[in-house]
């Protein structure tokens, strides 16, 4: 007869939840390639001084509007003679920050508001959600422009404006997910067992409702990079001579006919990075909720 120890040794261990999630995510080729691409962009932006061939603010009048593949200027130069590749690398720092920071801050705020509204309900739910509905009624981009227009233009203004407009959207997702979890029998069992409200929220509700919030926040990062670039394009975000993908597009429109690459390259980077975040978000959704992936692929 086989002993319990031998049985445990011979039986294969089931992979942990994190390993299963990564395995499911890695099977999505588009999501995996997008993740690798985004990590590459982040690394290039962080270590821009080591990869960039020029100073991002150095203007060379004799090298203005040079086409791509010019010696020393792989992607050409802008109307001030600055290397476009260098400014794209440095610009990634601001553009990625404007995408990540507001989404992270808004998600943390929304977790608190949405959990309180969804768990306690009644007057707490009404007070929180009706207040957020006032912001939700205004289109996201218009509200961001209005807030940024009131404040002094700059990167901090971008982050504040985008954070404010994101809170109502993420809070709704958190509230909806919380309502689904609080209806589960194990929540009633925890209450019957004498667990406190804080314990139930942190130990039982939060871990079981966080997956859709993570997926939604991931896709929002790409969208917020587009919104932030739009604010910079309008002069409400990063200010010249700061390298930012939105300001690069704005600067390039002045010489659009003469040097279209000055606008095309930063615009293309914005689109590709935003799409990559969407693909990663789709991959996370399918990995964290296999049933959603099955519905998605069978549709």
Of the ranges 13-17, 85-89, 135-139, 292-296, the best mean pLDDT one:
85-89
Residue 277 has pLDDT above 90, yes or no: yes
Examine residue 131 and state whether it is found in any structural domain, yes or no: yes
Phi, psi of 70 (to 5 degrees): -65, 140
Tell me the C-alpha distance between 256 and 245, whole Å: 16
Examine residue 1 and state whether it is found in any structural domain, yes or no: no
Examine residue 105 and state whether it is found in any structural domain, yes or no: yes
Phi, psi of 93 (to 5 degrees): -60, -50
Examine residue 152 and state whether it is found in any structural domain, yes or no: yes
Per-residue model confidence as pLDDT tens digits over 124-175: 889 999 998 888 888 888 889 898 888 888 899 999 999 999 999 999 999 9
Let me know: does 132 contact 171? Beta carbons within 8 Å.
Answer: yes
Examine residue 101 and state whether it is found in any structural domain, yes or no: yes
Examine residue 29 and state whether it is found in any structural domain, yes or no: no
Q: Which domain holds residue 227?
A: 89-292
- Region label for 116, one of left (φ > 0), alpha (ψ between -120 and 50) or beta (otherwise): alpha
Structural domain count, the chain: 1
Examine residue 79 and state whether it is found in any structural domain, yes or no: no
When pLDDT is cut at 50, 70 and 90, the band that residue 63 belongs to is confident
Paired strand residues for 217: none
Residue 10 has pLDDT above 60, yes or no: no
CATH code assigned at 117: 1.10.3720.10
Per-residue model confidence as pLDDT tens digits over 216-245: 999 999 999 999 999 999 888 888 888 899
Examine residue 193 and state whether it is found in any structural domain, yes or no: yes
Residue 290 pLDDT: 53
The encoded tokens of residue 291 equal 């049933």
Query: What is the value of pTM for the model shown?
Result: 0.86
């Amino acid at each position: 007869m086989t002993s319990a120890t031998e049985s445990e040794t011979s039986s294969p261990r089931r992979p942990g939840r994190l390993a299963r999630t990564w395995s499911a995510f890695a099977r999505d080729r588009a999501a995996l390639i997008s993740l690798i691409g985004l990590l590459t962009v982040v690394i290039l932006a962080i270590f821009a001084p080591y990869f960039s061939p020029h100073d991002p603010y150095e203007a060379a009048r004799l090298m203005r509007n040079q086409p791509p593949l010019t010696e020393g200027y792989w992607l050409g130069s802008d109307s001030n003679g600055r290397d476009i590749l260098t400014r794209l690398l440095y610009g990634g720092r601001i553009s990625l920050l404007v995408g990540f920071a507001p989404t992270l801050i808004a998600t943390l705020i929304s977790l608190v508001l949405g959990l309180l509204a969804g768990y306690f309900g009644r007057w707490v739910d009404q007070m929180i959600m009706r207040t957020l509905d006032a912001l939700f009624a205004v289109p996201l981009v218009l509200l961001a422009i209005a807030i940024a227009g009131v404040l002094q233009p700059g990167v901090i203004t971008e982050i504040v404006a985008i954070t404010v407009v994101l809170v109502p959207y993420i809070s709704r997702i958190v509230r909806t997910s919380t309502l689904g979890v609080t209806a589960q029998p194990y929540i009633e069992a925890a209450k019957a067992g004498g667990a406190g409200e804080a314990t139930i929220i942190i130990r039982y509700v939060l871990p079981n409702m966080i997956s859709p919030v993570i997926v939604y926040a991931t896709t929002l990062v790409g969208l917020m990079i587009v919104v932030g670039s739009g604010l910079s394009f309008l002069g409400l975000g990063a200010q010249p001579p700061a390298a930012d993908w939105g300001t690069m597009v704005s600067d390039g429109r002045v010489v659009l006919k003469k040097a279209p690459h000055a606008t095309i390259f930063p615009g293309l980077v914005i689109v590709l990075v935003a799409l990559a975040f969407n693909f990663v978000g789709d991959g996370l959704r399918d990995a964290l909720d296999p049933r959603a992936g099955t519905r998605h692929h069978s549709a």
